[in-house]
Amino acid sequence: MMKVKIYVTLRESVLDPQGTAVKSSLHAMNYHEVQDVRIGKYLEVTIAPSDRPIDEVVREMCEKLLANTVIEDFEYEVEEAITQ
Amino acid sequence: MMKVKIYVTLRESVLDPQGTAVKSSLHAMNYHEVQDVRIGKYLEVTIAPSDRPIDEVVREMCEKLLANTVIEDFEYEVEEAITQ
């Protein structure tokens, strides 16, 4: 079993209204040192071994379902082999 | 300027209906090797230097606003010093 950590972020050029709202809240709470906030998704996916390479499987899942590649980028790390 | 990466995840004991829905979708797309999916938030926060230690500021922001510590855990990494 492999644990894969996937980070999905909005592309640089895409506005992030959720991040802007959080930044405003932090400023209202007197955290004026905060310059910018960008919000994305973080997924932990546990994958059993199959006959296909894990990189191929993860990349395909991200492109088809987990990220909208028009406006989002994704990165991932294959974290650990969990012994059964 | 420091870039801080913050990961907010649901605690182990808390049900994750969004993760369960994504797992079902992946199974419906024939990714039967997927055993589990947990979904969290990923934030990139840019912070200017202040007179308080960055760890103290980040921890406080997470506890007060970014994570609901009753049901969520958070981790963070102070990533890099961005030269101005």
Calculate what percentage of chain B has a pLDDT beyond 90. Answer: 90
Q: What is the pLDDT of residues B36-74, one digit of tens each?
A: 999 999 999 999 999 999 999 999 999 999 999 999 999
Average pLDDT for residues A13-25, to the nearest whole number? Answer: 97
Say yes or no for a CB contact (<8 Å) between B39 and A40.
no
Determine contact, residues B37/A45, Cβ cutoff 8 Å.
yes
Q: CATH number of the domain that B8 lies in?
A: 3.30.1280.10
Amino acid of residue B57: V
Q: What is the pLDDT of residue A4?
A: 96
Determine contact, residues A31/B56, Cβ cutoff 8 Å.
no
Give the whole-angstrom CA distance, residue B27 versus residue B22.
9
Q: Say yes or no: A12 contacts chain B, CB-CB below 8 A.
A: no
Q: Which residue has the tokens 């894969």?
A: A4
Our CA-based measurement puts residue A65 at a distance from the nearest CA of chain B, in whole angstroms, of 8
Number of domains observed in the structure of chain B: 1
Structural domain including A31 reads: 2-81
**Runs of H (alpha helix) within A5-69:** 17-28, 54-61
Global ipTM: 0.89
Q: What is the pLDDT of residues A27-61, one digit of tens each?
A: 999 999 999 999 999 999 999 999 999 999 999 99
Determine contact, residues B54/B2, Cβ cutoff 8 Å.
yes
Residues of B in Cβ contact (< 8 Å) with A21? none
Q: Say yes or no: A44 contacts chain B, CB-CB below 8 A.
A: yes
Cα nearest neighbour of B56 on chain A: A31
